[in-house]
Amino acid sequence: MEGKLPANLCCPCSASSPSAWMSQPVNRDIDNTQGTMNSSTTDEVTYLRYSGSESEERERPLVREAPWTIHVNGEELVTLLCTPHKMNFMVLGFLAAEGLIGSLDDVALLQVCDEQEGVIEVTLREDGDIPLPAHPVLLSGCGRGVTFDDLSTSHAKLDSSLTVSPKQLSALMRELRHQAKIHRIAGGTHASALADGESLFVVAEDVGRHNTLDKIRGECMFRGIPTKDRLLLTTGRISSEMVNKAIKMEVPIVASLTSPTDLAIKLAQAWEMTIIGYARGGKMNVYTRPDRVIADSP
């Protein structure tokens, strides 16, 4: 069951009603999903194409990367560089990842005003100061991110019986690439998905791989989709912040088309999370908790 929006949640000040705004996609050619904001995900650019000694002028779409500033209870919290797609879901997921909200019930208002592009105003139901540490951590990645979380913070070890076979994972990765619609049109994005062993539940794209996980968490919160005991798939590198976001979603298996970092492996070992890299072409590398990967029948 989808989450029930508070009266003013996700309603921009220029819209007549929440339902009127929520029905508008970011880019009608790309996405028709609730949770988008009135901004295009791509820009058309002109460039000069060289082939040997010859050149010609061409046009093509490029993915947008834009700064969005989140204000919480009237105070500036953070500015994120991201692709303006499923932005309300990303804000919900970011606030949840930072421990500022636990559910939709904690949010009284989330709005974007046309007069101030790139600013998202959030009002939490609880009054008082925002409990953030003094020193944010800048995240690695092509879309510069930030977290106020201490990556050394201990989390409970994952106790999950979830398993996946190489055949299942290969099929899910193919489907993820198929559903990465922005990347197919313009390139330049990472894609991630929440899945079980058979199908994808939620897919998100962004220039920043960590942003995709915030978008997934926010959409799952809105739609009432459990994240516990699911798989997270991503086209990008599995870094420490990706593992940190995954553990907060209680996801026991994270798989990527490319490599994890050494710190990601260390965190995954401590939290007993399964990390899978280079999952493509029917092959994969299992770095931690390999017992969750069940060999296919001959």
Helix (H) and strand (E) counts in the chain: 7, 15
> What pLDDT is stored for residue 29 in this prediction?
30
Which pLDDT band, with edges at 50, 70 and 90, does 190 fall under? very high
Mean pLDDT of 84-93: 94
Residue 79 has pLDDT above 80, yes or no: yes
Give 289's strand partners: none
The string of pLDDT tens digits covering residues 219-246 is 999 999 999 999 999 999 999 999 999 9
> What pLDDT is stored for residue 40 in this prediction?
82
The string of pLDDT tens digits covering residues 242-292 is 999 999 999 999 999 999 999 999 999 999 999 999 999 889 999 999 999
Mean pLDDT of 22-50: 58
Distance CA(32)–CA(164), nearest Å, equals 30
Distance CA(284)–CA(166), nearest Å, equals 8
Mean pLDDT of 208-225: 96
Give the Å distances, CA to CA, from 249 to 14, 227, 274.
Answer: 34, 6, 14
Name the pTM for this structure. Answer: 0.83
For the chain, what's the residue count? 298
**Catalytic sites, residue numbers:** 142
Domains present along the chain, CATH in parentheses: 166-292 (3.40.140.10)
Cβ atoms of residues 208 and 228 within 8 Å: no
The string of pLDDT tens digits covering residues 194-203 is 999 999 999 9
Distance CA(279)–CA(85), nearest Å, equals 26
Give how far the C-alpha of residue 31 lies from the chain's centroid of Cα atoms, to the nearest Å.
Answer: 16
Mean pLDDT of 71-96: 92
Which pLDDT band, with edges at 50, 70 and 90, does 22 fall under? very low
Structure-token pair, residue 255: 């798989």
Cβ atoms of residues 148 and 246 within 8 Å: no
Distance CA(89)–CA(215), nearest Å, equals 5
Cβ atoms of residues 279 and 176 within 8 Å: no
